[in-house]
Amino acid sequence: MSTTFPARSIGSAASAVAAAPVVPAHSRLRPLGLHEVRITGGFWGERQRINAAHTLGHVLGRLESEGWLPNFDRAAAGTLPAGRRGREFSDSEVYKYLEAAAWEIGRSDDAELEATLRSVVARVAAAQEPDGYLNTRFGRPGQQPRWSDLEWGHELYCLGHLFQAAVARERTRPGADDGLLGIARRAADLVCEVFGPTGIPAFCGHPEVETALAELARVTGDERYRAQAELFVERRGHETLRDIEFGRTYFQDDVPVRDAGALAGHAVRANYLAAGAVDVAVDAGDDELLGALRHQWARTRGRRTYITGGQGSHHQDEAFGDDWELPPDRAYSETCAGIASIMFSWRLLLAEGDAAYADLIERTLYNVVATSPAADGRSFFYANTLHQRVPGVEADPEGTSPRASSSLRAPWFEVSCCPPNVARTLASLDAYVATADDEGVQLHQYAPSEIRTTLPDGRVVSLDVQTAYPADGVVRVVVGEDAGGAWTLSLRVPEWADGARLRVRDAAGAVIDDDATGPGRVEVRRDFRTGEVVELELPMAPRLVAPDARIDAVRGCVAVERGPEVLALESTDLPGGADVGRAAIAGDAEPVERDGRVWLRVGLRPDESDGWPYGNRSASATAAAEEAELVPLVAYHDWANRGPSTMRVWLPVE
Amino acid sequence: MSTTFPARSIGSAASAVAAAPVVPAHSRLRPLGLHEVRITGGFWGERQRINAAHTLGHVLGRLESEGWLPNFDRAAAGTLPAGRRGREFSDSEVYKYLEAAAWEIGRSDDAELEATLRSVVARVAAAQEPDGYLNTRFGRPGQQPRWSDLEWGHELYCLGHLFQAAVARERTRPGADDGLLGIARRAADLVCEVFGPTGIPAFCGHPEVETALAELARVTGDERYRAQAELFVERRGHETLRDIEFGRTYFQDDVPVRDAGALAGHAVRANYLAAGAVDVAVDAGDDELLGALRHQWARTRGRRTYITGGQGSHHQDEAFGDDWELPPDRAYSETCAGIASIMFSWRLLLAEGDAAYADLIERTLYNVVATSPAADGRSFFYANTLHQRVPGVEADPEGTSPRASSSLRAPWFEVSCCPPNVARTLASLDAYVATADDEGVQLHQYAPSEIRTTLPDGRVVSLDVQTAYPADGVVRVVVGEDAGGAWTLSLRVPEWADGARLRVRDAAGAVIDDDATGPGRVEVRRDFRTGEVVELELPMAPRLVAPDARIDAVRGCVAVERGPEVLALESTDLPGGADVGRAAIAGDAEPVERDGRVWLRVGLRPDESDGWPYGNRSASATAAAEEAELVPLVAYHDWANRGPSTMRVWLPVE
């Protein structure tokens, strides 16, 4: 079967609406979609390649073999609930797959994937009830009634992912005749009917439908969807849902969104809700709500975020802890929470333009999203600990793992949100690289990429970004054509990049301008000529990083970073595979770069006997490290790729 | 209604079997029961008074109002499952109440309580099936079949608590005509029939029946019960139970007991199992098993125990973490795990005599068991955090709290194991004070108490222990009568008591002997005369304590202890009620004692704004504390008694 759509060529299909995950009605920065930005290789290009070549197929295979996609066939055949498999939210994984496939088709125009998407959509379509209801777990004889368990049922959550899939499809293939948008609209219409102003005065225990409805409104122009999203956001926080063991904070029903001080409760729920609330605030011009979210973002970043960008320090409820409660060994840092945090940050970046949002996105991409999938794209971390105390256990390649117990990457989970969530994120990653505004283009993430967009005044900006980042710190932005007048190229200097330099070269390579620049956003406004180059040089020397004194769990420790990457010490690299728990570094230790790796002088404490472990102050302080050796560190996102090991990001200083 | 039993008078009813919770067939130390030891006042006497006056009635009231005791009436009336309330293990709380009441009657001979016990026993008896089965949750039409959910059903666990109640009753009121022992025996006979060598080759997901069967064998002389306990212990660890999300480690079915390296999994389950395994090992003379348990105890104490003696660092599965994983803010340290740990330690103390077991018992009694109940004995901590970051919320005095979410003590929990477990522990605490052997008497815990026992050779040892411990460090042991020859008085010098002194005084008070002594066990062998005094003086100056360098979560911190009590800093005592998260102490700070409290010079860090909390090493290390003030500390067991507060045991050193 061949596709009916032309292959993507950058800049050639500049539609009114970007083929991007978030397209606000109005915002400070305008997103650039897959037709305007293409990642062409490098760190992320390789991951996108693996995502397309392996992960999508792996996910689909598991959706089939686990019975989660066949649930739709059973629904269509009228045989449910018999034989239904999977948790109450398993439908959503099918929708996340569809979203990932839609973006990937938008990126690569893969005909086989197009056929697959259409066949999956057809199976989903067949399961939809005449009134638009769609869920394989509720509403049939022998099942719980529709909307009877808003706390845990995930019905609206599942539909939210359906809507996001339809949005992705419509943005990348406007008017496609596969029926996905129609399925979504029928379901959304039902949601508006059932949960509208005079309907059930409640909402879903797992936010997601809010941002999805807002985007569906943007795609369809249907104002009801936006109003429903707003209603869902505003209803939250008034103790409407039943109390549960974890408390109503778990699903953000303890405090109204606009009154909250920081994200709290289940980390994925909190970030999805915050993302939806930004959508609502932006489209409604609700500056009070937007201000509250901006404050929550800052507070959450400042007090509830791991050095990796990861969020969530409770295993029990997959939740944020209190301020400063960031234990590395119990870091939950769910992969999906990282993705959700990127969704929240990205929306604020579009709304406000502050480089700090892109800083956190970069950190989270390199150290959470990139950490989850194995090199082959077929197994994943669900949780992302910062300190593995006991060597992990290899997951059965054919098996299904408990979600967070897997200490090594696992192919699939009982709760398997992370694999398709990673897939949809990687497949749409091009859209997070750059934005535009009236004055020009902003680069947020550095990857080899082609950018071609049209400014509101009709001028075309065309850029070729050349870089080996993060292996190397030089980012060369080559101007592809004269725009015919001055415009502004804005580049993000990451928060860690003290001592960066910005150079402008003419087409012959001669330096026109050369300035030191610091963290934040640096702008070059110029009547750029074809072949001119803006060159950002970021300092990539490895650096020691200390935690805020209020983060109790890593007091007395330092971490090593290099560029956007957090590094880790893995037992695999220690003499004799020694446990990283024995490691300590001297107060004056400094990381060095050699042979493409970062090395640090690490000592090993003797493994002592087991007396009572609390005692006289002077006695306990004298656990001297054995003679330190130079040991290579590993990028955190690469750990656990060489078999079972222990690992730690934070290294105690003697 | 009046009791048919005479009031307890110490030493007057020296039966062959001690009225004590654990009476091994043979052991290094012989337990002394409630007829041989009586706590007469002081720290623990007051808590026993409150337990009797308030806690027992509070627990019974809740058992009624929550429907957990009425479940038995419904069972007897044949109306179950309709109207059954409570979790699958709610029967066990009734049995724990009965055990507590039995001990309390043994202590105080309370006629009203005797009547109450009899009425509760009658209601339990009426619910027993003809074949001996007893459980309100399983086995009836409309309920799950008997023994169909060994992983989570808790049927044998519940029966274990029934057996322990019957043992307590029989030890304190041998031959009582209330029928409790008969109920227990009929149920135990059924257990042996169903789970015997040719029966269901499995065991209960929650250990407890092992130690209970061993004790029931000791009380009844029925060897089958002992053999069944042994069978249950030996069957464990071979992956018999179904795998669960937490893994089989949760219920100790991953590794056979004799092969385990340390306690692991659910902390209450692990300690109950270990206690039962010691019982089995001791009675069978299985030195290999006993040696394995001794090693596990040492390893667990050395690497998996909080400074309070608390155990369990996971909220999710109420479980031990890995070695050195001891986060203070996420300390679960369940009250019941502390009690279970005391049960394990006490059995090893009887078996082996090592003072270290009594040291851990003392630490756990003062800092876990004493921490749980409020001063009025009507509300309880289920979990015992070592760092409360956010002021707690007062629990509804009429309500039921989620188990571990209560940040202040709560009157009752959905899982309400802790209140009756505290009650049975306090009611039997006299039996943990002292033991005897062929040579004399050993004092393990220091409380105002009377001790009178008969040595195997028929000589009577009578002691009056006078002390204000732990308020004061002097323990005076006054000899009550001439035994007629030399015997040995052994006293424990706690592990923290460097610089203790031991004096012997004649009846006139003149010092006969005065020696420095150190931690461990100190013995005085002498032909003691009436009125002679052995006086132990323990150094009670407050002391700074540092953690082992391998406990990452409290690196760079110190705690303050005084005697057996761990102290804490509570926001209530800080200027303006400042958050303890801002506290820091100088490297040379030393605690001082003044006006009956311990004081420490504490500085407060400024509450800074929320930037990215990881950064340049030199910059982050300079969060200077404001001028330090002398602040009083509170005994950890007394915290949260003055309203919502933040609290921390471990104090960062600048």
Residue of B nearest to A309 (CA): B612
Instruction: Mark yes or no for CB contact B321/A303 under 8 Å.
Output: no
From chain B, the residues in CB contact with A588 under 8 A are: none
How far away is chain A from the Cα of B248, in angstroms, using its nearest Cα? Answer: 12
Q: Is A193 helix (H, G, I), strand (E, B) or coil?
A: helix
Higher pLDDT, A111 or B14: A111
Instruction: Mark yes or no for CB contact B612/A559 under 8 Å.
Output: no
How far away is chain B from the Cα of A105, in angstroms, using its nearest Cα? Answer: 36
Q: Are residues A620 and A494 in the same domain?
A: no
Q: Are residues A644 and A563 in the same domain?
A: yes
Q: Are residues A487 and A562 in the same domain?
A: no
From chain A, the residues in CB contact with B650 under 8 A are: 552
- CATH assignment of the domain containing A476: 2.60.40
Using the 3D structure, point to which of A512, A537, A562 is the last residue of a domain.
Answer: A537
How far away is chain A from the Cα of B505, in angstroms, using its nearest Cα? Answer: 32
Length, in residues, of chain A? 654
Q: Are residues A505 and A646 in the same domain?
A: no
Instruction: Mark yes or no for CB contact B323/A387 under 8 Å.
Output: no
Give the pLDDT of residue A245. 85
Establish if A103 belongs to a structural domain: yes
Among A327, A548, A615, whose Cβ lies nearest the Cβ of B613? Answer: A548
Establish if A16 belongs to a structural domain: no
Instruction: Mark yes or no for CB contact B329/A330 under 8 Å.
Output: no
Distance between CA atoms of residues A279 and A257, nearest Å: 13
Using the 3D structure, point to which of A182, A210, A235 is the last residue of a domain.
Answer: A235
Among B303, B390, B548, whose Cβ lies nearest the Cβ of A322? Answer: B390
Instruction: Mark yes or no for CB contact B245/A546 under 8 Å.
Output: no
Give the pLDDT of residue B3. 32
Distance between CA atoms of residues B19 and B11, nearest Å: 11
How far away is chain B from the Cα of A77, in angstroms, using its nearest Cα? Answer: 32
From chain B, the residues in CB contact with A623 under 8 A are: 548-550
Residue of B nearest to A495 (CA): B612
- Pairing label, strands B440-443, B487-493: parallel
Establish if B37 belongs to a structural domain: no
From chain B, the residues in CB contact with A321 under 8 A are: 329-330, 389
Q: Are residues A449 and A466 in the same domain?
A: yes
CB contacts < 8 Å between A and B, how many? 190
Rounded (5°) CA angle A370-A374-A376: 115
Burial of B526 (0-12, 13-18, 19+ CB in 10 A): middle
Query: Best of B246, B580, B610 to disrupt the A interface by mutation (most A CBs within 10 Å)?
Result: B610
Q: Report whether B401 contacts B412 (CB < 8 A).
A: yes
Cα of A105 vs its chain's centroid, Å:
20
Distance between CA atoms of residues A385 and A391, nearest Å: 12
From chain A, the residues in CB contact with B314 under 8 A are: 315-316, 330
Inform me whether the pLDDT recorded for B15 exceeds 70.
no
Residue of A nearest to B402 (CA): A245
Q: Report whether B312 contacts B332 (CB < 8 A).
A: yes
Q: Are residues A87 and A182 in the same domain?
A: yes
Structure tokens at B499: 């610089």
From chain B, the residues in CB contact with A322 under 8 A are: 329, 389-390
* pTM, entire model: 0.93
C-beta atoms surrounding A141 within 10 Å: 6
Grade residue B158 by pLDDT with cuts at 50, 70 and 90: very high
Q: Are residues A515 and A580 in the same domain?
A: no
Give the pLDDT of residue A6. 36
Distance between CA atoms of residues A1 and A541, nearest Å: 51
Task: Name the packing angle between helices A90-108 and A56-65 (round to 10°).
Answer: 150
Grade residue B395 by pLDDT with cuts at 50, 70 and 90: confident
Grade residue B76 by pLDDT with cuts at 50, 70 and 90: very high
Q: Tell me the residue type at B207.
A: P
- What's the mean per-residue pLDDT of chain B? 94
Q: Report whether B442 contacts B16 (CB < 8 A).
A: no
- Pairing label, strands A647-648, A387-388: antiparallel
Cα of A345 vs its chain's centroid, Å:
10
Distance between CA atoms of residues A482 and A485, nearest Å: 8
Using the 3D structure, point to which of A537, A555, A575 is the last residue of a domain.
Answer: A537
Cα of B508 vs its chain's centroid, Å:
39
Q: Report whether A312 contacts A368 (CB < 8 A).
A: no
Helices (H), A173-222: 180-195, 209-220
Q: Tell me the residue type at A230.
A: E
How far away is chain A from the Cα of B623, in angstroms, using its nearest Cα? Answer: 7
Instruction: Mark yes or no for CB contact B614/A548 under 8 Å.
Output: yes
Domain count across chain A: 3
Establish if A505 belongs to a structural domain: yes
- Cβ neighbors of A270 (< 8 A, separation 6 or more) are A252, A263, A264, A320, A340
From chain B, the residues in CB contact with A403 under 8 A are: 245
Distance between CA atoms of residues A340 and A344, nearest Å: 6
Of A477, A365, A412, nearest to A47 (Cα)? A365
From chain B, the residues in CB contact with A600 under 8 A are: none
Higher pLDDT, B628 or B433: B433
Residue span of the structural domain in which B481 resides: 436-467+473-537
In B30-162, beta strands by DSSP E:
30-31, 37-39
Of B330, B422, B333, B424, nearest to B379 (Cα)? B422
Of A38, A7, A11, A34, nearest to A23 (Cα)? A34
- CATH assignment of the domain containing B161: 1.50.10.20
A139 DSSP assignment: S
Low-confidence ranges of chain A (pLDDT < 50): 1-8, 12-14, 620-623
Among A247, A495, A619, whose Cβ lies nearest the Cβ of B405? Answer: A247
Among A245, A402, A544, whose Cβ lies nearest the Cβ of B402? Answer: A245
The complex scores an ipTM of: 0.90
Instruction: Mark yes or no for CB contact B545/A614 under 8 Å.
Output: yes
Of B491, B267, B481, nearest to B358 (Cα)? B491
From chain A, the residues in CB contact with B548 under 8 A are: 613-615, 620, 623
Among B549, B552, B555, whose Cβ lies nearest the Cβ of A329? Answer: B552
How far away is chain A from the Cα of B304, in angstroms, using its nearest Cα? Answer: 9
Structure tokens at B71: 């479940």
Among B303, B321, B389, whose Cβ lies nearest the Cβ of A613? Answer: B303
What is the phi-psi region of residue A595: left when phi exceeds 0, alpha when psi lies from -120 to 50, beta otherwise? Answer: left
Establish if B21 belongs to a structural domain: no
Of B533, B538, B635, B543, nearest to B589 (Cα)? B543
Q: Report whether A274 contacts A348 (CB < 8 A).
A: no
Establish if A45 belongs to a structural domain: no
Q: Are residues A139 and A222 in the same domain?
A: yes
Helix (H) or strand (E) holding A461: strand A460-467
Instruction: Mark yes or no for CB contact A389/B315 under 8 Å.
Output: no
Query: Best of A389, A610, A626, A648 to disrupt the B interface by mutation (most B CBs within 10 Å)?
Result: A610
Instruction: Mark yes or no for CB contact A557/B557 under 8 Å.
Output: no
Instruction: Give residue for tokens 């609502």.
Output: A280
Q: Are residues A573 and A504 in the same domain?
A: no
Residue of B nearest to A550 (CA): B581
Establish if A21 belongs to a structural domain: no
* Average of per-residue pLDDT across B111-119: 98
Of B324, B372, B380, nearest to B551 (Cα)? B324
* Average of per-residue pLDDT across B117-123: 98
Give the pLDDT of residue A618. 56
Distance between CA atoms of residues B419 and B374, nearest Å: 11
Helices (H), A83-179: 90-108, 111-127, 155-172
Instruction: Mark yes or no for CB contact B546/A584 under 8 Å.
Output: no
Among A303, A321, A605, whose Cβ lies nearest the Cβ of B549? Answer: A605
How far CA B488 is from CA of A13, B432, B483, B494, in Å, comes to 97, 19, 11, 19
Instruction: Mark yes or no for CB contact A546/B324 under 8 Å.
Output: no
Establish if B18 belongs to a structural domain: no
Q: Are residues A510 and A610 in the same domain?
A: no
Structure tokens at B101: 């009441």
How far away is chain B from the Cα of A209, in angstroms, using its nearest Cα? Answer: 28
Q: Are residues B278 and B401 in the same domain?
A: yes
Grade residue B618 by pLDDT with cuts at 50, 70 and 90: low
Q: Are residues B333 and B440 in the same domain?
A: no
Of B503, B488, B474, nearest to B440 (Cα)? B488
Instruction: Mark yes or no for CB contact A546/B359 under 8 Å.
Output: no
Distance between CA atoms of residues A123 and B40, nearest Å: 77
